[in-house]
Amino acid sequence: MSFGQKTLNVLDLHHDSSIPLRERIIEATAELGTFPFHSKTGGVAFEAVAKPVEELSGKQISLDYANNTFTVTVGGKTYYPTIPDWQLVPTVKFADSNFNVAFSSLGDTVGNRQAQLLYHPAFINTLAGLRIFQADLLNIPGVLWDLPKDDSENYILAASEKNYIPTKDTVLNGWLYDALCGEGRPFSSYILTDRDADIAIETEDGYLRLSGNPYYFFTKSNIEKQVMDSLITKVQADCETLEDNAKVLLGNEYSQDLNPRINLSGLRRKIEENKDKAPSLYYKIKSVIAELDSVYMLNEKKLGIEFKTLDAFTASFGRRWTMLKRYNPAVYSALEDISQWTAFFRYVKLTNPENWQKFVRKTDGRKVSNSPSVQTPTSFEIDYIRIFKDRVKRQEIY
């Protein structure tokens, strides 16, 4: 285990470089409002495509990157947007890909085989990815105001953020806590998204401007205990049968690392490798695996889960975006920029594909300057000892 960012307030941030890169990334498409997506992926997904305001309708937009300068030409007039390379370079890669999920905190950590925190390939090990990760910590508002520190206890900031010193706004903290963690919390999960955010492209006073912002989309899941208990009993019985038969088929090759409760995929592969040892037993095992698959593939209704989107709560909380930006300007300004520019780039990609491909080639592989080296966390945990120590010292950090 190696450590990248050391802490975020009372969270310990871990970066395990031994985990293969393929197990630290996510390549997925958002399916907002569906139970499988919210229960297995969630996180942050930006899928909007920006639209020019009426005055710019029909004017071609093209991009260029030359002499370390990013330029946008709209209808023959050139603009020089202010966007730091640490945002620009990964956002171009993200917009150019076929996937729109930027981050998920629902990685498979069974048996420590994979990272808990998964990033789109464009954002892994980038400052943009670190900011995106933090935006998913909405359910821990007491740390959301702060920023990660390195091993020397210095805040991790780009040159474009250097004037920012995290400060806890107690009024905003109280509002967030009451809305998200207070009595009667209405939601089970959330995702930061920009679907239907109406991101607009406009020019004003010699500047190119983008408007519209992402928002948190909330959902609620209620579980019918009796249905879930019966399914759990069935899965446990199938796992016991599968394990007993696998031990007979594999003999000395069976180990606890192949326990179907924690590594069903690994056990499948091992069984396939040894299927000729005892064909009749092999097909018996296959039938048990099919039984397990039938349970895993049940939809939410058959699992006894009532899933619904909380449209009113989403709309109400969404009107507080400016308050979130005040609570943590570094995180939420970055997320707004990434969302808006992704939507903008997708518009150019659709309307001027030849120019887009030239632009992508000019930014591809570019080394980002004026930004700290970042190893995005693969997992995190709350340091309860630090909480108690700081409370003894009467230092309010949580």
Assign 262 to helix, strand or coil: coil
pLDDT tens digits, residue range 25-37? 999 999 999 888 8
Counting beta carbons within 10 angstroms of the beta carbon of residue 296, is it exposed (0 to 12), middle (13 to 18) or buried (19 or more)?
exposed
Q: Pick the range with the lowest mean pLDDT from 130-134, 166-170, 189-193, 387-391.
A: 387-391
- Is the pLDDT confidence value at 386 over 80? no
Given pLDDT bands bounded at 50, 70 and 90, which one contains residue 112?
very low
Residue in 218, 220, 219, 217 with CA at minimum distance from that of residue 197: 217
- Is the pLDDT confidence value at 4 over 90? no
For 276-383, where are the alpha helices, taking DSSP H only? 279-296, 311-318, 321-327, 329-351, 353-363
Arithmetic mean of pLDDT, 247-253: 90
Q: Pick the range with the lowest mean pLDDT from 218-232, 281-295, 364-378.
A: 218-232
Q: What's at 47, amino acid-wise?
A: E
Given pLDDT bands bounded at 50, 70 and 90, which one contains residue 306?
confident
Can you give the pTM of this predicted structure?
A: 0.79
- Is the pLDDT confidence value at 392 over 60? no
- Residue 323: what pLDDT? 95
- Residue 2: what pLDDT? 40
Distance between CA atoms of residues 189 and 140, nearest Å: 13
- Using CA atoms, how far residue 268 sits from 201, 243, 246, 272, 289, in Å, is 51, 11, 10, 6, 8
Assign 366 to helix, strand or coil: coil
Arithmetic mean of pLDDT, 252-274: 86
Given pLDDT bands bounded at 50, 70 and 90, which one contains residue 108?
low
- Is the pLDDT confidence value at 180 over 60? yes
- Residue 260: what pLDDT? 83
- Is the pLDDT confidence value at 137 over 60? yes
